[in-house]
Chain A
Amino acid sequence: MSVRMPPVDQAVLDRRAQIVAALRQIVPGEGVIAAEREMRPFESDGLPAYKQLPMVVVLPETTGQVAEVLRYCHANGIKVVPRGAGTSLSGGALPLADGVLLGMAKFNRVREIDFDNRVAVVEPGVTNLAVTKAVEHEGFYYAPDPSSQIACTIGGNIAENSGGVHCLKYGMTTNNVLGCEIVLMTGEILRLGGKHLDAGGYDLLGVVTGSEGLLGVVTEITVRILKKPETARAVLVGFTTSEDAGECVGRIIGAGIIPGGMEMMDAPAIHAVEEFVHAGYPLDVEALLIVEVDGPQAEVDDLIGRVEKIAQDCRSTVCKVSQSEEERLLFWAGRKAAFPAVGRISPDYYCVDGTIPRGQLPLVLRRMRELSEHYGLRVANVFHAGDGNLHPLILYDANVPGELDKTEEFGAEILKLCVEVGGVLTGEHGVGVEKRDLMPTMFSQIDLDAQQRIKCAFDDKGLLNPGKVFPQLQRCAELGRMHISGGKLPFPDIPRF
């Protein structure tokens, strides 16, 4: 697989030995890795089809070191790619041949837990799950829960604005982060937000979140923690058509119920999962919903009853309510194992991530079946039904020549379809290199220029993670020019007073 990356700066590569020596001055000991064999683990992230050895890997331990590294690279025109745990599914941490790979794994301490203010202050290399682990003894948790939460880091979550199955009720990363310390490419250290709410001026934290490591390197993060709901129960509902399942989702929300999680699977996904996990999923249905409601016991019992009634009204053929915490977790175990389960029935699979207006689901599934036949590739679908986030898994065999290219083309067609029906290219995995060249299907050049000018405001030399997100790199000086001509009053008809 190949993707066009920014041209390699040979002058930088020629100075490699000198650069490595300079970086060793800043980060002593084992913090600078220059041997090819030792750099191998960093050559790709969670999108392993793309591989590239970096020029050098640097693993700083302090904010001061991060600032020094960035200042040095800025002064010397050296590109930098930040990396958390390397679980990005869009190639966001793909190294550059002439770039420094800045690994943040050593920033792994929880700095402060403040239960009274309901916040935790953590370093970016702390894993998502470790935040919850650090506060659960008091019954608290950190709400965003991407599937990779055991491995992915909070720093990476900020970069990608990570979601998870509980987004509909509890929001994405951007709704759960209050502050950060960020180092700009110049080495300048800034604080955005804190334990208080809202920015006093522009919401820079808001635009840094989800910026895919292109605006700065975050070195400390303040997140909101929540008390765990008193209890939770899940219902497993089966339907003979995806239309019925879709209608059920709409009616649940129409009834004023916002479930803690609401997931859908299609028949291929259900079968793959059931064979793998034995979660008790029915095999004679076309669509399966898991609806989880959380809150006080009385509320949960009441809402489960309402959900059951709605499901019956929508012609469900199976409706099973979890009778114990074990059973609830078993329902989820199936869904959470969907990716590896599909991995068992196919040599390889490719995970797509688009969002659609929920009502378009039947249409999108139908078109996807047509595409599947056209490409001769099977698809299994898992779907965050509550918020319209689709994860079609395309099954392929990388050892069959041409099949990966065909798979990528199929995936791109699905994403274009998402945009066509009013959705977006990515719901939670990010643009990265993977969807970069599809950006023009959603945004005009004017829209993309407006975004790139923000990049210029943070990183005027374009040295931080270039080649990601934007299909065309433009010079900030060119983007800054104004192209307005003429001075006539262009609106004689606009009412004036």
Chain B
Amino acid sequence: MADIVKPRDAKDVEDAVRFAVSNETALEVVGAGTKRGIGRPLQTDMTLDLSGLSGIVLYEPEELVLTAQAGTPLAVIEEAVRAANQELAFEPIDYAPLFGGAAGGGTIGGVIAANLSGPRRIRQGAARDHFLGAKGVTGRGDAVKTGGRVVKNVTGYDLCKLIAGSWGTLAALTEVTIKVLPCAETETTVVVHDLDDKTAMRAMAAAMGSSFDVSGAAHLPDHIAAHFDGLPEEGASTCLRVEGFAVSVKHRRETLAALLAPFGRVSFVEAESSRALWRSIRDARPFAHGQGLKRPLWRISTEPMRGADLADLIPPSAQMFYDWAGGLVWVGMPVEEEPDAAAIRSAVAAIGGHATLVRAPVAARAANDVFPPQEAGLAALSKRVKDSFDPNGVLNPGRMWAGI
């Protein structure tokens, strides 16, 4: 059992990493540990538990900015911003239930380190797009800061972008500054019923190509639709969300419904049901049910219009649904503990984009690439970036790829 070290402040984190460097100790960097199951299995000597670095440092709603210690629970931040009628507009997925954990447990540092996002990715971006500044300790034991607390900033390299989505392999975050935005006054989802996957992609493209400011576009095929919340009826459902001021939502839902009517029968999901629906889409809820937890899960990002082509290329008994207007495909494999990486990788190679093996048993994650394999030049550059931050490989070594 590895040691656990729980720093109280940023200085402790610096000390811990310096100790690790001096003693050739590999650290597992965790916040609340809700995404521990993602990545290649780690062989570390010590766990660096950042959950002790907790608390909101600054929140100025009128400036749309919030700074928090990296280990602050996301729930604490969400509660604080909700009180000012604001939110994290990038709608971060809660991965915990996909691993059998309780919902609502992650930290803001984990949200950033994994570059989380949700259905609103297509309109508001991912964590990377809302991540203004950070303090952290690199694998050299250097306490560094990058970015700032203002939205518009081009001073020096944007290291925030590298840190977002680096899964703790470059720096142990101690403090992050993010942009927050006003909550929408209300929302409605326009549902088109009973479309096949390819027609659904066209319907979503039409909606996204309109001026109706669609903030969520998902297609839930017939075989899986019943597992989502908030839908009025079973059967394939193509869901388009409009959010904003009530007067605007009312106008856009009508015009959007008229635009989509030629594709199929249309109905509406209002306010609270709509929110429940998109939460279940965000969290890939159909794959979070007890008996399915052992089935490997893939998350595939591709060009939206190619999303449906994937259905023809993967094992027919796999379960799947589409978010991001077709650009994000979740694929749940039919056989427990069998990720069938060869089939998925070759399918994704054919349509473009990349696939991440989000959930699989340890042995499968050791035997297969979890993150998308990179061609040689890109892999070498990624390794050089890793080495620039963490030359001795003390931070989550090997979590993304061998040596990274």
Q: Enumerate chain A interface residues (CB-CB to B < 8 A).
A: 115-119, 138-140, 160-161, 163, 167-168, 171-172, 174-175, 184, 188-192, 194-207, 209-211, 227-230, 250-251, 253-258, 295-299, 302-303, 355-359, 384, 387-389, 422-431, 435, 439, 442-444, 446-451, 453-458, 469, 480, 482, 484-491, 494-497
Contacts and interface: CB of A to CB of B under 8 A. Distances in A.
B311 to A, nearest CB: 17
Given A355-B153, A423-B150, A458 B128 contact: no
B211 A484 contact: no
A494 B16 contact: yes
27 contacts: A117-B304, A117-B305, A118-B209, A119-B303, A163-B154, A175-B125, A196-B301, A198-B117, A198-B121, A198-B126, A200-B301, A200-B356, A201-B378, A203-B128, A205-B161, A206-B160, A207-B158, A227-B211, A254-B62, A388-B151, A424-B153, A442-B148, A444-B144, A446-B142, A458-B384, A491-B15, A494-B6
**Binding site secondary structure of chain A:** loop
Interface stretch (B94-102, B188-196, B243-251, B261-269): B243-251
Contact of A161 (B115, B158, B384): B158
Contact of B52 (A429, A482, A495): A495
A258 B121 contact: no
Contacts of A449: 142
Contacts, number: 318
Contacts of A358: 62-63
B63 A204 contact: no
B150 A198 contact: no
Contacts of A439: 155-156
A300 to B, nearest CB: 9
B401 A256 contact: no
Interface stretch (B279-287, B289-297, B385-393): B385-393
Cβ-closest 6 pairs across A and B: A206-B161, A299-B248, A200-B354, A200-B372, A256-B182, A195-B303
A484 to B, nearest CB: 5
B310 interface: no
Contact of B209 (A115, A295, A387, A435): A115
B184 to A, nearest CB: 8
B210 A482 contact: no
B150 A298 contact: no
Contacts of A425: 155
B164 A203 contact: yes
B16 A424 contact: no
A117 B7 CA distance: 46
Contact of A201 (B182, B245, B372): B372
Contacts of B7: 491, 494
Interface string B166-197: 10001000000000011101000000000000
A480 B391 contact: yes
B4 A496 contact: yes
Given A482-B140, A486-B22, A387 B6 contact: no
Given A116-B209, A207-B158, A355-B152, A302 B248 contact: yes
Contacts of A228: 211
- Report, as a range, how many residues of chain B touch the other chain: 35 or more
Interface string B203-244: 001001111110000000000000000000000000000001
Nearest to B49: A497
Contact of B354 (A118, A189, A196, A299): A196
Contacts of B158: 161, 174, 206-207, 209-211
A441 to B, nearest CB: 10
A245 B356 CA distance: 48
Contacts of A430: 154
B303 A484 contact: no
Given A175-B125, A195-B303, A296-B252, A454 B157 contact: yes
Given A139-B211, A355-B153, A486-B22, 20 more contacts: A175-B125, A184-B381, A189-B377, A192-B378, A198-B126, A200-B356, A200-B372, A201-B165, A202-B385, A204-B162, A205-B161, A210-B154, A229-B213, A254-B62, A357-B65, A422-B150, A457-B385, A469-B156, A487-B23, A494-B7
Given A200-B371, A302-B245, A495 B115 contact: no
Given A355-B150, A487-B22, A198 B5 contact: no
Contact of A171 (B125, B146, B148, B252): B125
Nearest to A247: B62
A303 B251 CA distance: 14
Given A197-B301, A450-B142, A484-B140, A190 B152 contact: no
A384 B165 CA distance: 30
Nearest to B242: A296
Contacts of B210: 227
B151 A387 contact: yes
B6 A495 contact: yes
Given A168-B151, A357-B150, A454 B388 contact: yes
B211 A229 contact: yes
B315 interface: no
Contacts of A480: 387-388, 391
Contacts of B154: 160-161, 163, 172, 210, 426-431
B352 A196 contact: yes
B52 A295 contact: no
Nearest to B301: A196
B21 interface: yes
A207 B154 CA distance: 11
